[in-house]
Amino acid sequence: MKTIHIFIIFLLVVVVQLFVPAKMILNQESVIEHGEVFKFKTQPIDPSDPFKGKYINLNYTISNITTTDSLWKRRAPIYVYLETDSLGYAKIQTVSRTILAENNNTYVKASVQWYAKYNNQLNINFPFNRYYMKETKAYDAEIAVRNRQRDSLLDNTYALVYVKQGDAVLTDVLIDDIPIKNYVEKKEE
């Protein structure tokens, strides 16, 4: 094969290599720009990813719901329809295996974590359960939330999530309306 042909194929590879991360960015930006914002009450713990760094894993308080439908299978897709409760936090209106044409509420596409038949509990795995943080702050964030719980302070930790047509983007995690990274910094001072 001639050098120029190899180079042209390489240019195609370059375009695809640039397109993939660019498309990831465009999708997320579109959700942030046009999506509806929800506050998900959460509790963070800090694992780490070998390539992407430290993050806090977010356990959402609304991820467990009671349902008599026992046919849910692990990892199956689930459409979660959302609404806001009286305190302004996200609340599940209903869940479904398919998109409900007659339901006008905002929905997010998640997956089934598990279903426990003995207490009819369905656990949902939301696709925004990671919040990446500076390596020095992730563990401190977990401790800060735990200390607040120990001191019986009002549970005011939530994730700010933009939702648009099934897609969701987590932009921040806040404690008492202060971004968690600033909250941890403040605590350190």
Should residue 33 be labelled a site residue for other proteins when binding is judged by CB under 8 A? no
Backbone CA torsion sign across 96, 99, 105, 111: positive
Determine the interface stretch with other proteins among 23-31, 65-73, 87-95, 143-151 (rule: CB under 8 A): 23-31
Determine the interface stretch with other proteins among 36-44, 79-87, 147-155, 167-175 (rule: CB under 8 A): 167-175
Q: Are strands 77-84 and 130-132 parallel, antiparallel or unpaired?
A: unpaired
Should residue 69 be labelled a site residue for other proteins when binding is judged by CB under 8 A? no
* Of the residues 135, 149, 153, 176, which one makes contact with other proteins according to CB under 8 A: 135
Q: Where are the beta strands (DSSP E) in the chain?
A: 36-45, 48-49, 53-60, 64-66, 77-84, 90-96, 107-116, 121-125, 130-132, 157-164, 167-175, 178-179
- Residue 64 CB, nearest distance to other proteins (Å)? 18
Should residue 80 be labelled a site residue for other proteins when binding is judged by CB under 8 A? no
* Of the residues 95, 133, 144, 175, which one makes contact with other proteins according to CB under 8 A: 133
Tell me the residue type at 110.
A
Q: Which of 39, 111, 120, 116 is nearest to 79 (CA)?
A: 111
Q: How far apart are CA 123 and CA 186, in angstroms?
A: 34
Pattern of binders to other proteins over 112-131, x per CB under 8 A?
Answer: ---------------xxxxx
Q: How far apart are CA 142 and CA 174, in angstroms?
A: 12
Should residue 20 be labelled a site residue for other proteins when binding is judged by CB under 8 A? yes
Should residue 77 be labelled a site residue for other proteins when binding is judged by CB under 8 A? no
The residue ranges that bind other proteins (CB under 8 A) are: 3, 6-7, 9-11, 13-14, 16-18, 20-21, 24-25, 28, 49-55, 75, 127-135, 137, 169-171, 181
